[in-house]
Structure 1
Amino acid sequence: MSAPQTARALAWARRREAAGRAWRQFRTDRGGLVGLAGLVLFALLAVAAPLFTDPADLDVTKTTGRPLQGPGGDYLLGTDETGRSVLLLVLGGARISLTVGLAAAVLTMLIGTVVGLLAGHFGGWVSAVLMRFTDFFLVLPSLVLAIALSSVLDRGLVTIVFAIGLTSWPSAARLVRAQTLAVEARPYIERARALGGGHTHLITKHVLPSTLPLVFADTTLQVASAIVAESTLSFLGLGDPTQVTWGSMLRNALNSGAVSAGAWWYVIPPGIGIVLVVLAFTLCGRALETVLNPRLRTSGGR
């Protein structure tokens, strides 16, 4: 085996060992395990929903149920104002809401990571310009800006993802910049520079791998915020009118008079779905922060 292959194998062995230690530490956090179990359950329901859901059952022209029919019989969670099964709507909404939340969180962390890495690594006028640009977006109300973008652009899931991602990245950028500055101060970075390592080598081989665990932990928290933002935009009527989400279900329940009619089965399931998914992502994010930040472990967590 050649030297590069040996070094690569050693690096992967160390990564597997570090991942094993992180998982053992994660298992000691009961809240994190509960959150992880909840996320796995929701993910399975979202992925398996198309397997036992006939698209015709969600077609308002082919429904056979009575409007706002209570739970029971063929409709375990009752029906909506058009006679569609609320259970099928909740399952379909879970898939869309999770997809939009994950995509928006990935876009948020992608923009924030790039801006934070460049600002922390290059410093000087590059950092000054990027941080002033970040501060500009940071002081703007993110929800108001997302509403404005969703109103101007064509309505759809891609627009929702773009609006949330473009308005939520500043906090991630500041977090990554702070971590980058901490990594840049370590001795092995100075040795890499002295050996002729360029900017690309330093960022991709040293700085980025050291910041990725923190980025991953923050992404789980960003997903929770993105799901709340998507539900809010859909509730305000700025989502995709052709897709069923938990936010659009709450909007339709309000507009159809389900609240005043006492049709609790139409309002409570999507609301509980939002709360449970956000709570699960938050518990996982907090547990990951404790695992990846030794100072939180020594201080007993948050």
Structure 2
Amino acid sequence: MTSGLRILLQQKKAVAGLVIIAALCLMAIFAPIIAPGAPAARVGRSHQPPTIEHVFGTTKMGRDVYTQFVWGSRTSISIGFVTGIAITVLGTAIGLTAGYIGGRTDALLDLATNAVLVIPNIPLLILLASFAGTVGPLSIMTIIALTSWPWGARMTRSQTLALRNRDFVTAAQMIGEPRWRIIFVELLPNLLPLIGINLVGSIIYAIVAQTTLEYLGFGDPLQVSWGTMLYNAQNSSAIILGAWWDIGAPAAGIALIGLGLALVNFTFDEIANPQLRSGPALSRWLSLNSARNRSLGTAQ
């Protein structure tokens, strides 16, 4: 775990990703200080371009886009992280249980995983949201978490099946260690890079899924988020009217948080699979080829 953290901090792209994520999270936490105004307050003319007074312009209703962007980050980022954690915990628990216990338990959990996996997620989310009508943040988190865990469960199960017959697990079983200790002490630490990949991917997916539902009008219109900002901008024909800032601000926020998470995810991939570290591998390959060419030249 320590070596993985050291690799994470040594990678420039991981550090850049963490800086982006930290900056957006701090913006969301300190929203009352950074943007003290009410996001629903009318403070200017309709679709006013960016100015010194309104740095991100205004919406059709005369609301400050910057204030809405800052306050909307609270909802979007919190839903993304909480839902991503819920997806990861659920998928890891099911995959680890199925992979280690095996037998009938594995068969039943694998059947449930495949049943949810074959259903297209976004259409299912839209269907569930349409039945629920207008859904709040808690409902959105619940719907996404209950329909998005199978991918993580499948990956965790496959890796657990590969680990459960390793020598250290067999030795723990032979000395009589309880099953819970084998799972949490022997297996779980070896799954941390995979869990990290699953967590980051789940957060990205949760933010995109939440934005999709709200953009289609299934979110709470009274709750400010990046998704509802896009929905309101669409209803006000912001692009047709040339009010690019109305859509550009929330779109940039979603792109930035996705970029930061993706940069961190690349490093988790490298920790889980060292062969993906193309830089050192390429350097070693070049040095080996150079040495071989020198030896061939000397022989000739």
TM norm. shorter chain > 0.5: yes
Q: Choose which of 138, 141, 155 in structure 2 pairs with 1:158.
A: 138
Q: In the alignment, does 2:50 pair up with 1:50?
A: no
Task: In structure 1, list runs of 5 or more residues that go unmatched.
Answer: 1-17
Q: Which residue of 2 aligns with 1:191?
A: 171
**2:5 corresponds to 1:23:** yes
Paired letter, 1:75: H
Superposed CA offset, 1:68-110 (max 9, x none): 1111131111111111110011111111110000011111111
C-alpha distance in 1 between matches for 2:8 and 2:184: 27
Give, in angstroms, the shift of residue 202 of structure 1: 1.6
Among 267, 271, 275, which residue is 1:287 paired with?
A: 267
What letter corresponds to residue 146 of structure 1 in structure 2? L
Which residue, 104, 127, 131 being the options, matches 1:148? 127
Query: What is the TM-score with the length of structure 2 in the denominator?
Result: 0.88
* Correspondence 1:241 to 2:221: yes
The unaligned stretches of length 5 or more in structure 2 are 283-300
Q: Corresponding residue for 1:99?
A: 78
Deviation at 1:300?
A: 4.7
Which residue of the partner structure matches residue 67 of structure 1?
A: 46
Partner of 2:298: none
Deviations along 1:97-124, one digit per CA (max 9) or x if unpaired, are 1000001111111110111011101111
Aligned partner of 1:40 among 6, 13, 22: 22
* Matching of residues 162-181 of structure 1 within 5 Å: 162-181=142-161
1:119 maps to a residue whose letter is: A
The answer to whether the aligner puts 1:129 opposite 2:108 as a matched pair is yes
- TM-score in terms of structure 1 length: 0.87
Structure-2 separation of matches of 1:199 and 1:215: 20
SS of 2:261's partner is helix
Q: In structure 1, what is the equivalent of residue 95 of structure 2?
A: 116
4+ residue runs over 4 A deviation: 298-301
**In the alignment, which of 207, 231, 234 is matched to residue 251 of structure 1?**
231
Letter matched to residue 267 of structure 1? I
Partner of 1:217: 197
Cα pair distance change 1:300/1:48, threshold 3 Å: farther
For each residue in 1:229-259, what CA deviation from the matched residue of structure 2 results, as whole angstroms up to 9, or x when unmatched? 1110110111122211111111101101212
Tell me how far 1:25 sits from its aligned partner: 1.8
Equivalent-residue separation in structure 2 for 1:272 and 1:59 (angstroms)? 21
TM-superposed deviation, 1:23? 3.3
Partner of 2:162: 182
